[in-house]
Every structure is written in C-alpha cells, then in structure tokens.
C-alpha cells in the first residue's frame, strides 16, 4: 500500500492523507473543514485475505483521499477502497503518489510522482523557501474568496458508493438467503457473491459486492446483519469500491 514514517500512526491511520486532502479541498472548493469534520479510516483493519479477495473481484486495495463536488455539496473522505485494476491509481505503489483530477470538459487527468524520500522532500521544502523569499503570496488556504463562500460539506451518511462486504457466517442452510434478504430489505442490490472457507470452525466467509447505494443504507444493513443469529457481532467488514 506504500511507505510510512518511522512512527507510522499518521500514515496507517489515514491522517496524513486527510491533512493533505483538506488543503486541496480548501483550494478547490473553499471548504474550511477540520479532520474531525470528515470521514477518516485507516488501513489497520485490512487483512491479507481482503487483499486476496479484492484481486479475485478484479480490484486492488488503496488508501484514497476523495474530494468530490455535487449539486448537494462537497464530500471529503479518506479510507481504503477497492480500486479497479483498470484504473491507473491501482498501479501506484511504493513511494509513488498520484492525484486524479476530473474536470467537466477535460475528463480525468492524473499527476504521478514520488511522495516520500530525501530528494522529493528536500525539493518541496526548497520550493516553499523560494516562494517565501520571492514574497509570493496567495489567499488563505489558497481559496480566492472567503472560505465562508465555499460549498457545503456533506455528511458521510450521504456518500453514494458501491461496497464490498466480507461476512463470516455459520455454515448452515438458509444463511445466504437471510443475508441477501436483509440487504434487499435495506434497498441494497447485490452485484456479485463468492463463498470461501474460514479458519474459524463451523463458519464460512461470504464475499459480496453491491451496486450503488448510500452510506447510511449500508451502515443500517450491517446493523441488521449483526442481529442475525448466523452472523453476530465482529463478523462483518466493509470497504468502499471506486472504479
């Protein structure tokens, strides 16, 4: 998934990416948001099996920072996601970073380069020093108007995405039907399903991907799934899908 500092807390927890994303969002949209205002999830809970299962579905797992404008406002979020192997970001590894920018007319453009290491860090620091020496200044956080004139920050519950669910269920008849019925009751349509063995006795792993739905819908469905006797607490993990 990439490199980390000697103390990896900020990198692994997604906080470093969040700080950078908030600066970019302020420049692009005038959003005066703080880390505590946005969704931040790290990669601490990603398992080797998640990486393997993602590949089976045709995805790579990447830690993403997403800032996206819609007619309702701007969503800002940091989290690991399943990225289609067809997307260039799926191929970004090691010290390399990438920023994908999507415009109304130009479509998608991507900026790719090293984001860690002595040379890359030194180059950025020197560039900032030169800007200061020249007296070059921009508006606060780069936004040309007052931050209060920017767009509204959307709640994470309003995020619309596809999702990947890994559910450890009891190995007994009728469990798949109960799971799919629960998702259907929540208005969630299933795209694909796989079943794999589990290391836990008497349990198997159901791997599902969904079509687009709201974050509030998938969270409500997960709570309902936990109440099933065949599922229970601590047996569900969820990741968002970006294609």
Boundary residue ending a domain (120, 149, 178): 149
> Domain check: are 180 and 232 in the same one?
yes
Split at pLDDT 50, 70, 90, the class of 1 is low
Split at pLDDT 50, 70, 90, the class of 128 is confident
> Domain check: are 168 and 131 in the same one?
no
What was the pLDDT predicted at 149? 58
The reply to whether 20 belongs to the active site is: yes
**DSSP-assigned letters across all residues of the chain:** -----SS-HHHHTTHHHHHHHHHHHHHHH-----GGGSEE--STT--HHHHHHHHHHTEEEEEEEEEEE-SS-EEEEEEEEEEETTSGGGG--TTEEEEEEEETTTEEEEEEEE-SSHHHHHHHHHHHHHHHHHT---SGGG-SS-GGGSPPBPPGGG-EEEEEEEEEEESSTTHHHHHHHHHHHTT--EEEEEEEE-SSTTEEEEEEEE-SEEHHHHHHHHHHHHTSTTT-TT-EEEEEEE-
> Domain check: are 22 and 114 in the same one?
yes
Q: Is residue 47 part of a domain?
A: yes
Give me the CATH number covering residue 197.
Answer: 3.30.70.260
> Domain check: are 140 and 37 in the same one?
yes
Q: Is residue 197 part of a domain?
A: yes
Q: Is residue 1 part of a domain?
A: no
What was the pLDDT predicted at 114? 86
Cβ of 234: how many Cβ atoms within 10 Å? 8
Tell me: the pLDDT tens digits for 158-184? 999 999 999 999 999 999 999 999 999
> Domain check: are 166 and 59 in the same one?
no
Average pLDDT over residues 112-131: 87
Q: Is residue 229 part of a domain?
A: yes
Q: Is residue 154 part of a domain?
A: no
Among the options 20, 69, 91, 226, which is catalytic? 20
User: Which domain, by its residues, includes 163?
Assistant: 159-242
Does the pLDDT at position 70 exceed 90?
no
Average pLDDT over residues 38-58: 95
> Domain check: are 126 and 166 in the same one?
no
> Domain check: are 167 and 86 in the same one?
no
Does the pLDDT at position 145 exceed 70?
no
Q: Is residue 46 part of a domain?
A: yes
Give me the CATH number covering residue 81.
Answer: 3.30.360.10
Q: What percent of the chain clears pLDDT 70, i.e. is strictly above it?
A: 93
Average pLDDT over residues 144-155: 71
Does the pLDDT at position 4 exceed 60?
yes
> Domain check: are 117 and 67 in the same one?
yes
Boundary residue ending a domain (114, 149, 184): 149
Average pLDDT over residues 22-38: 89
Structural domain count, the chain:
2
> What is the reported pTM?
0.86
Query: If you average pLDDT over every residue of the chain, what do you get?
Result: 90
Q: Is residue 2 part of a domain?
A: no
> Domain check: are 185 and 145 in the same one?
no
Boundary residue ending a domain (149, 182, 200): 149
> Domain check: are 44 and 142 in the same one?
yes
> Domain check: are 172 and 124 in the same one?
no
What was the pLDDT predicted at 238? 97
> Domain check: are 25 and 140 in the same one?
yes
């Amino acid at each position: 998934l990439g490199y980390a500092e000697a103390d990896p807390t900020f990198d692994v927890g997604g906080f470093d990416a969040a700080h950078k994303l908030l600066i970019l969002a302020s420049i692009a949209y005038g959003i005066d948001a703080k880390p505590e205002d946005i969704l931040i999830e790290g990669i601490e809970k990603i398992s080797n099996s998640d990486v393997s299962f993602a590949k089976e579905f045709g995805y790579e797992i990447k830690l993403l920072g997403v800032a996206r404008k819609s007619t309702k406002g701007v969503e800002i979020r940091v989290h690991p996601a399943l990225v289609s192997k067809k997307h260039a970001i799926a191929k970004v590894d090691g010290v390399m970073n990438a920023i994908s920018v999507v415009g109304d007319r130009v479509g998608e453009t991507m900026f790719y380069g090293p984001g860690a290491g002595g040379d890359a860090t030194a180059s950025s620091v020197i560039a900032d020093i030169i800007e200061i020496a020249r007296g070059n200044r921009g508006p606060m956080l780069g936004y040309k108007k007052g931050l209060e004139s920017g767009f509204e920050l959307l709640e994470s519950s309003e995020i619309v995405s596809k999702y990947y669910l890994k559910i450890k269920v009891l190995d007994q008849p009728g469990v798949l039907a109960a799971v799919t019925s629960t998702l259907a009751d929540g208005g969630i349509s299933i795209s694909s399903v796989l079943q794999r063995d589990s290391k836990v006795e008497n349990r198997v792993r159901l791997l599902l991907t969904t079509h687009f739905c709201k974050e509030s819908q998938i969270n409500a469905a997960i709570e309902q799934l936990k109440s099933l006797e065949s599922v229970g607490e601590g047996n569900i993990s969820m990741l968002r899908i970006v294609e």
